[in-house]
Amino acid sequence: MTGLKPATHVMTIAAAKDGQTDATPVRVVFSVPQGAKALKANGLGWKKQRAARSYLGTSWQTRGKGRVLVAKKAVRGVRQLALVVGSTPRSGKVKVYLGTKLIGTVNLKGPRADSRVLTLKPFPKARSGKLRIVTLTKKPVRIEGIGIATTK
């Protein structure tokens, strides 16, 4: 499947034969992440880079502690968040906030990869607020996008 816009998608699939449809269809829910263009730097220290290796061709990069990226738009009805990142064995950590609440700490360290999706714990109920990503170290951080799941 190609050409899907960044959002949560629901697909229901049922077998059919000779005019009869299975009464127990399979329901699949998945999200297509937004690219780095959905984020903006809040303060100095981030550099926006275009690179074919990045998800959708763009990423935000920094090596500074306490640097902040925010979603351009507040998010609503969020069930789960994910970060699309570039990782290396020397990558740093970030904290992810929704509004003023800390959602999780994410370690970007890993094998060298152009794009990885790192998911945070799902929420028991939908949440809304301004999404903020804050670096914890002076190690390199590359954020390529955000995944926002809004449906169970």
How, if at all, do strands 127-129 and 75-78 pair?
Answer: antiparallel
Distances (CA, A) of 37 to 42, 67, 98, 110: 14, 17, 19, 24
The confidence score (pLDDT) of residue 152 equals 62
Q: Is the distance from CB of 80 to CB of 119 less than 8 angstroms?
A: yes
Contacts of 26 (CB under 8 A, 6+ apart): 12, 13, 14
Average pLDDT across the chain, whole number: 94
pLDDT cut 90: percent of the chain above it = 84
**pLDDT tens digits for range 84-119:** 999 999 999 999 999 999 999 999 999 998 899 999
**pLDDT tens digits for range 112-133:** 988 999 999 999 999 999 999 9
Taking the whole predicted model, whether its pTM rises above 0.85 is answered as yes
The confidence score (pLDDT) of residue 101 equals 95
